[in-house]
Structure 1
Amino acid sequence: MTDDGRRYDMPKDMRTLAEAGFDQARQTFEKFLAGAEATAGSLEERGATMRAGAKDIGARVLTYAEKNVQSSLDYAQSLVHAKDLPEVLKLHSEFVQGQMRSLAEQAGDMGQAFSKAAIDATKPKA
């Protein structure tokens, strides 16, 4: 209605143009929602993949910690049974060399595990 109480009719071409604009906006919004839902689903899948990778890494860390503690306990026990200072020095040298090898192997394995987890988390899903 206009200010003087008369009814205002929108021209047919203008109404058609407005309806087309609304339809286009609705379609664009529906596409946006579909894309957002797909992205959310993808993030959930990636989250599951990342959780699996983190679980594997956590298990490796615990295994290595157990191995390292056991190695240290064995070393300490061998020191208790050492007969003299030269034997203590020999045991210490062997222990340090063994630990360095173990730590290098563990670091390499952990690096590979982290890389695999990162690659798996960023792989495109089919």
Structure 2
Amino acid sequence: MAAGKSGFEIPEQMRDFAEKSVDQARKAFDDFMNVTQQAVSKVEDSASAMQTGTSDVNRKALTFAEEQVDAAFKFAQEMVRAKDMEEIMSLQQGYLHKQMETLGEQARDISDTATKAAQDAAKSAKS
């Protein structure tokens, strides 16, 4: 044995192999973390888009509820002022007709808004 050397020495090829293995493992881990971060970002973007869409639907629903209550109060005021049964029937028929039209329009509007929100969330998830 030479002076200053221990009895066991790791061959250079083995050290090179171990170093390359560590480098490859590090690269694989870094790649995994990048993909994971991208996936988390997509989920966050999708959730954000869906939350925005949900807020839009909620605001519309609240606005529509206010409009319905306002229409009901106006109808009640007209009913109180009615002079006879014929006028009451006419007011009621007009009110119901108008409410059916309004509800149909509002349902379409809410549906369109919800569909757009779902599409925006899906686009965020894909990109």
TM range (shorter): 0.7 to 0.9
Computed over aligned residues only, the root mean square deviation of the Cα atoms, in angstroms, reads: 2.0
* Equivalent in the alignment of 2:120: 120
Kindly provide the amino acid, as one letter, of the partner of residue 73 in structure 1. F
Q: Which runs of 5+ in 2 are unaligned?
A: 1-5
* Equivalent in the alignment of 1:75: 75
* Equivalent in the alignment of 2:3: none
Length, aligned pairs only: 120
Write the distance in 1 (CA, Å) between the matches of 2:115 and 2:77. 37
**Structure 1 residue 64: deviation in Å?**
0.5
Matched, 1:60 2:52: no
Bigger CA drift: 45-54 or 69-78? 45-54
- Percent of counterpart pairs with the same letter? 34
Write the distance in 2 (CA, Å) between the matches of 1:7 and 1:107. 85
Write the distance in 2 (CA, Å) between the matches of 1:67 and 1:49. 27
Q: Which runs of 5+ in 1 are unaligned?
A: 1-5
Bigger CA drift: 112-121 or 6-15? 6-15
The TM-score normalised by the length of structure 2 is 0.80
Greater RCO, 1 or 2 (C-alpha within 8 Å, sep 6+): 2
